[in-house]
């Protein structure tokens, strides 16, 4: 934490964000500020990675604050999920059925969750790539009402990216779903609201593309491999244990 605060101060100095102050118990004198700037500039010459670390530290702090601000909306009883419902760690995945990176990462995250009893995967449909994306999300959320979200998810992610209603119909028939009910639910106010809520949540989190995953107080944007998932889950478990050990 001390390093994060120090790096943040360094960045503020570099961009000139520390305001000029008169001598006081709370601030820097002009002479002190000038000395800080000189020290920082010299440090940057010797180790330019300081600036990168400062930016990364500030971004991580902003992400943690954004996640904390929406913690009550991040996982809801309405969300579809796979894995252990009582898992220690929850991976919240924002995805688009058309997104090529989401599709490419699908086997990795499925295998990861399938082999971990301490992890569950919560799906957040985020159709940002046009009408076919919206259609795919509506199909998944409507299938959830027939208890077949995961099955429809697997089917749609295997369909051509420019998914059509006819393709959805064929997939539903193959899964044995009631098509009349599915097509009606796809256009229901509830399904439309679920999508709107997910889009709003993504904006609040600063998500600008898919896939994006929230694991604990960390956000991973873009396709990741199993080692990155493992690291993020381990950090979330460590943070959870540390939180439990704090005095109430």
Collect all residues with Cβ–Cβ distance below 8 Å to 77 and sequence separation of at least 6.
Answer: none
Collect all residues with Cβ–Cβ distance below 8 Å to 196 and sequence separation of at least 6.
Answer: none
Beta strand pairing status for 212-215 and 89-95? antiparallel
Q: How far apart are CA 210 and CA 196, in angstroms?
A: 16
The structure tokens listed for 59 are: 């971004």
The structure tokens listed for 247 are: 């005095």
The structure tokens listed for 56 are: 């990364």
Whole-prediction pTM: 0.76
Name the CATH superfamily, with its identifier, for domain 72-242.
Glutaredoxin (3.40.30.10)
pLDDT tens string, the chain, 248 residues long: the values are: 444 444 555 555 454 444 444 444 456 788 887 787 777 777 777 776 665 566 666 666 777 888 989 989 999 999 999 999 999 999 999 999 999 999 999 999 999 999 999 999 999 999 999 999 999 999 999 999 999 999 999 999 999 999 999 999 999 999 999 999 999 999 999 999 999 999 999 999 999 899 999 999 899 999 999 999 999 999 999 886 555 433 33
215 three-state secondary structure:
strand
Torsion angle, CA of 105/108/109/110, rounded to 10 degrees? 110
- Domain locations in the chain as residue ranges: 2-53, 72-242
The structure tokens listed for 121 are: 């995967």
Summarize the chain as % helix, strand, coil (round to 5): 60, 10, 30
Of 153, 14, 137, 33, which Cα lies nearest the Cα of 82?
153
The structure tokens listed for 145 are: 């009402």
């Amino acid at each position: 934490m001390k390093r994060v605060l120090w790096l943040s101060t360094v960045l503020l100095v570099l961009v000139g964000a520390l305001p000029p102050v008169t001598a006081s118990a709370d601030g820097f004198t002009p002479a002190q500020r000038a000395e800080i700037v000189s020290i920082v500039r010299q440090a940057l010459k010797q180790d330019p990675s300081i600036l990168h670390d400062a930016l990364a530290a500030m971004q991580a702090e902003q992400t943690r604050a954004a996640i904390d601000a929406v913690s009550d909306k991040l996982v809801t009883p309405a969300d579809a999920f796979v894995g252990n419902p009582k898992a220690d760690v929850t991976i919240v995945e924002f995805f688009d059925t058309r997104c090529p990176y989401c599709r490419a990462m699908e086997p990795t995250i499925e295998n990861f969750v399938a082999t971990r009893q301490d992890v569950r995967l919560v799906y957040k449909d985020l159709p940002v790539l046009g009408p076919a994306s919206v259609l795919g999300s509506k199909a998944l959320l409507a299938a959830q009402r027939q208890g077949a979200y995961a099955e429809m998810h697997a089917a749609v992610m295997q369909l051509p990216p420019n998914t059509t209603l006819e393709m959805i119909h064929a997939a539903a028939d193959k899964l044995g779903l009631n098509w009349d009910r599915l097509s009606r639910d796809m256009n229901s106010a509830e399904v439309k609201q679920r999508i709107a809520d997910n889009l709003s949540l993504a904006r609040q989190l600063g998500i600008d593309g898919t896939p994006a995953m929230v694991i604990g107080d960390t956000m991973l944007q873009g396709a990741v491999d199993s080692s990155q998932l493992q690291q993020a889950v381990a950090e979330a478990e460590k943070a959870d244990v540390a939180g439990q050990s704090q005095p109430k």
